[in-house]
Amino acid sequence: MTASESALAVRRPFEVDNRLVLSIALPMMLAYLTTPLLGIVDTAVIGRLGDAALLGGLAAGAIVFDLVFATFNFLRTGTTGLVAQAFGREEPAEEQAVFWRALIVALGAGFVLAVAAPLVVWAGARFMAAEPAVTDAMTTYVAIRLLSAPFALSNYAILGYVLGRGESGFGLGLQLLLNLVNMTLSVVLGLWMGWGVAGVAWATVVAEAVAACIGLTLLILRFRRLPPLAPGALRNVAALKTMFALNRDIMIRSFVLLGAFALFARQGAQLGTLTLAANAVLMNFFLLSGYFLDGFATAAEQLAGRAVGARYRPAFMRAVQLTAFWGFAVSGLVSVLFLLTGDALVALMTTAPQVRAMAGDYLPWAALTAVTGVLAFQMDGVFMGSTWSRDLRNMMLLSFALFIAAMMTLPAQFGNAGLWMSLHLFLIGRGISLLAIMPVRARATFRD
């Protein structure tokens, strides 16, 4: 056994308890909650204009934008897993090297996306195949938002690094800064100045730039207090191969995930602009519940990755148990809250009477996504932190096949309710498939 292999085999025990889980999950839950709140503010700003086509265009634009940007979510999740494992091995130099590698990829990909904005806009319009008024609003939104690409992807790398170290307070500060600036400017530019969809998009560009500049400055100041990286650390061939293999699998997984959401929106558009607008409002409930759960998924990601790096199976199993417990507890409360207050939130997001009525009819379907999505979110965190990326990719493809089968049958029989049934089956399939293979992967990773 080589010296490096020997170092990897050293067990570094640490305790995982409720306090540790909550210390990571709760700050990030608060941070992530501001993201769907941003979506609610954006929807409310455009909804106040009273034009369903503009609301549908904003929803379609957000789907196209997310389909492109979430493809690069590996810059956050992959970085978190690799940093967490280096943290578990007590290798601060490798933690820093992982960040710089991710940032270089982020800047390169971001500039390519910004330059390719016209092509993305054209492809998005062809894919959504919505009504002309919806397409016009979507085109405006996507073309402007893509200018934020270098900053947005850099923020992924920055957040991935701090979460990998379990510094959820740092992550909370960055996300609050990003989303509060965004929400404020959305109201000012979109509503007060009358820029509409363009104002909402420009607000995001400015907010991403502010967060990236401040976050990067803080990390550079930190790194200057640490020993410099060894020559060639960023060109470590083995580390680069691991990063790119991990990023490839997570990119495929993320692309398929957003593809499912895009197909959901597209099918809603085929049912009419009213259905598209109502589902756009209701998807904010799904996003809001998802970000409640993402706090515990982040805790699972950091703790599972740290346990893998430390080669300490008891910490891994305890992290899985506690994040599942808290995830189900919170999801139940969130679903009840949505069922009780959902009509008021719908009224806040849109003034269009027909959109309000349809959204109210399908509110229970959106509220229950909190419960059916628990395992999907938690298992994603466990597998990403453990860098079991091939399984993430394969189980996502399997679940997507289930989703397509459901989409081909249920909407034809049940209309918009069938769309929501398909989404629930997709979430359940993701969670159960990953849970089923987790014991096998854990036995192979923690060889006592």
What is the DSSP annotation of 27-90?
HHHHHHHHHHHHHHHHHHHHHTTT-HHHHHHHHHHHHHHHHHHGGGTHHHHHHHHHHHHHHHTT
**To the nearest whole number, what is the mean pLDDT of the chain?**
85
Could you give the CA distance from residue 28 to residue 176 in angstroms, rounded to a whole number? 10
Asked whether residue 138 carries a pLDDT value surpassing 80, the answer given is no
Closest CA to 320 of 331, 305, 333: 305
Instruction: Read off the tokens for 345.
Output: 């939130």
pLDDT per position as a tens digit, 76-121: 888 999 999 999 988 888 899 999 999 999 999 999 988 888 888 7
Query: How would DSSP label each residue in 231-282?
Result: TTGGG-HHHHHHHHHHHHHHHHHHHHHHHHHHHHHHHHHHT-HHHHHHHHHH
> Within 10 Å of residue 312's Cβ, how many Cβ atoms?
20
* Range among 65-74, 235-244, 285-294, 361-370 with highest mean pLDDT value: 361-370
Asked whether residue 308 carries a pLDDT value surpassing 90, the answer given is yes
Can you tell me whether residue 388 is helix, strand or coil?
A: coil
Asked whether residue 43 carries a pLDDT value surpassing 80, the answer given is no
Can you tell me whether residue 166 is helix, strand or coil?
A: coil
Find out whether 164 and 385 touch, Cβ atoms under 8 Å: no
Count of residues in the chain: 448
Asked whether residue 6 carries a pLDDT value surpassing 50, the answer given is no
User: pLDDT higher for 417 or 7?
Assistant: 417
What is the band of 402 on the pLDDT scale with cuts at 50, 70, 90?
very high
Cα dihedral 135, 137, 142, 145, rounded to 10, equals 180
Could you give the CA distance from residue 307 to residue 287 in angstroms, rounded to a whole number? 29
User: pLDDT higher for 144 or 68?
Assistant: 144
Q: What is the pLDDT of residue 191?
A: 76
Find out whether 87 and 163 touch, Cβ atoms under 8 Å: no
Between helices 168-185 and 149-164, what is the axis angle to 10°? 150
pLDDT per position as a tens digit, 328-374: 999 999 999 999 988 888 887 777 778 888 888 888 898 899 999 99
Give Dmax (Cα) for the chain. Answer: 70
Instruction: Read off the tokens for 382.
Output: 């466990």
Closest CA to 306 of 25, 159, 90, 75: 90
Could you give the CA distance from residue 74 to residue 300 in angstroms, rounded to a whole number? 16
Radius of gyration of the chain (CA): 21
Q: What is the pLDDT of residue 428?
A: 95
What's the Cα-to-Cα distance from 388 to each of 245, 249, 351, 384, rounded to whole Å? Answer: 11, 9, 46, 6
> What mean pLDDT do residues 191-199 have?
80
What is the band of 4 on the pLDDT scale with cuts at 50, 70, 90?
very low
Could you give the CA distance from residue 241 to residue 243 in angstroms, rounded to a whole number? 5
